[in-house]
Structure 1
Amino acid sequence: MGVGKTTVARRLARDLGVASIDVDSYLHRKHGKDANQLFKQRGEKGLRRLEAAALAECSAMGPAVISCGEGIVALPRNRSLIAQQGFAVLLESSMEGSLARVRSLRTRPLLAQGCDTDKLWCERKPLYDEAARAHIDVQGKSTAEVAAEVTVVLKKAGIYRP
């Protein structure tokens, strides 16, 4: 949350020569509403179902770097799909720094609703850990540095061969 997933994904995709797909942007294009609007209209469960369908559709588009919203891990089927068809890299920063960035924006549906961010983090952290096959600390690093680190991880895992 607030670690630069979309920005890093775009840079990484460019560096690897593949498509960059943002699940939230895909949802917005498909439904004509952003995640906040979909959350207000359909509730959290409805939003999570739409995210799951969008993730499955995006995963079928071929080689790509896919950036997902923080809540994508809430459903077991999403974590399963990520494990089967992808290689998830968790970008990490200090919780305080990340939350400070996103709290000021109020663009995250649950944060806009005033949820307890500490509780949310504690609930989701094990899910992030389950989904991620690699962790990268982004604190104090540029987008290019983080993308380069992800590239090294992908090479070591045999996912990317230049």
Structure 2
Amino acid sequence: MIGIFYGSTTGNTEAAANDIAAALGVDAANVHNVGETSADTVAQYDTLLLGSSTWGSGDLQDDWYDFLDAFKAQDLAGKKIALFGCGDSDGYPDTFVGALAQIYDALADSGATFVGQVDGDGYGSTDTESFRDGKFVGLPLDDADTDSHASRIADWVATL
């Protein structure tokens, strides 16, 4: 079963989470705002899709800080994790979707398997900490190119 967990300040990441849920046929009851959800909720899911917007100089969305600390304490062994996030490659090319790197690094030794990495083709910036070994660690949704969000989401969910 898939659980989608997101942190959103302006609504963009929430909209992305809902679009991803619709594309995967995930019921709204399985889409969770991390600011309103207990981290132990993750136990019921085999696959976790985690989304955050990026703020400041590559920072997580505020609700993620407390949630991520509690999330790391959960047993994630054997689970699949895919990341998605919103950022602005024009305004902040060096920290574009930096929040994805923070989540990835925090959970790298969790025993979970990361899936859903994305090639950098067509993105304004790949010179960012979330771009590793020729791929983004998750799905970047670029505020500088909102017209491509629907197709990028469709392509990404097809790989999960």
TM-score interval for Structure 1 and Structure 2 normalised by the shorter chain: 0.3 to 0.5
Which structure would you say has the larger Rg? 1
Which of 1 and 2 has higher RCO (CA within 8 Å, sep 6+)?
Answer: 1
* TM-score of the aligned structures, taking structure 1 as reference length: 0.43
TM-score in terms of structure 2 length: 0.43
Higher fraction of strand: 2
